[in-house]
Chains A and B, each alone.
Chain A
């Protein structure tokens, strides 16, 4: 099976092996969404904070 190739405008969110949630090259809408989720989720430690988990661009 061929892997899906991301298209323009797609969002990609990935759950890493260590449990972190990351976004690939998020745009403003996706970042706002992540902030909203973070605000609604009880934080037990710093490792789960979204601020460590987004990637503006990896090129």
Chain B
């Protein structure tokens, strides 16, 4: 972590905490006083609720081995979320305290973690707690902000320069799908802006998990938006979608070979900077 930005953490934390008095970290703009224990859409107050940490080699190759630290609480409701059970009642999670997480960060780095991957849930709704953690732990490995990118500019300002890689999920390419599957109708507009903001100061990897039969509505327009950012951003395509049971609004099947091939061809045609 750049020492100059590390030293700015207390000041940035103060700004975030002021915001938490009437929370407007994300487009939900709940306005609740999280410092007083109130919770809004994401369900978290001003504390960190870490439900899992692990060393993992299944992320993009350049990020591995990665120390994954999962924080509960999310501002989206993706029907296919594979960790939804941890985000339903974040305050009930009896996880590690901050000192224990900090200790794990150092231990995992000693074990070879080249990145510290902050994920969730959604790190943006936990931005204040995460900054406090970074101040205490001062990690030596590269920091990855693994986010749905559905947040307000105040979060970008808080993490600017502290984070080495923004791993940005690009989930949907149209308003209808974002509303139906994730209860976030304005997702595409918000995320287009936050990814562009991040690309101005960080290494950005846009990760698009392809949804079965959502090529025309999501993959195609989503990738076209990313192409506008040019070679500044890398793109990682995932074809491992697993449907929830039951699947209501989200696809019930799996990505087939034809869609797989079509997506790759389209990404190549757009001259995207694809990574594995």
| B-binding residues in A (CB < 8 A) | 3-8, 10, 14, 16-17, 22, 24-25, 27-28, 31, 51, 54-59
Residue from the list B52, B120, B169, B254 in contact with A16, Cβ < 8 A: B254
Report if B3 contacts A (CB, 8 A).
Answer: no
Q: How far is the CB of B249 from chain A (nearest CB, A)?
A: 15
Partner of B82, one of A4, A5, A8, A57: A57
Tell me, in angstroms, the Cα distance from A4 to B74 when the chains sit together.
22
Q: Which of B18-26, B54-62, B219-227 contacts A (4 or more CB under 8 A)?
A: B54-62
Q: How many A-B residue pairs have CB under 8 A?
A: 60
Chain A residue contacts of B68, Cβ below 8 A = 56-57
A55 to B58 alpha-carbon distance, docked (Å): 8
Q: With A14-B242, A22-B242, A27-B54 in contact, is A58–B81 under 8 Å at CB?
A: yes
Q: Contacts A8-B85, A25-B83, A28-B55 known; A59 to B245 CB distance under 8 Å?
A: no
Find out whether the CB atom of A58 lies under 8 angstroms from the CB atom of B241. Answer: yes
A59-B55 in contact (CB<8A):
no
Which chain B residue has the least Cβ–Cβ distance from A8? B85
Which of A8, A16, A17, A31 is in CB contact (< 8 Å) with B86? A8
**Contact call A55/B242, Cβ cutoff below 8 A:** yes
Which of B52, B78, B80, B241 gathers the greatest number of chain A CB atoms within 10 Å? Answer: B52
Residues of A within 8 A of B84 (CB): 6
Contact between B254 and A59 (Cβ–Cβ < 8 Å)? no
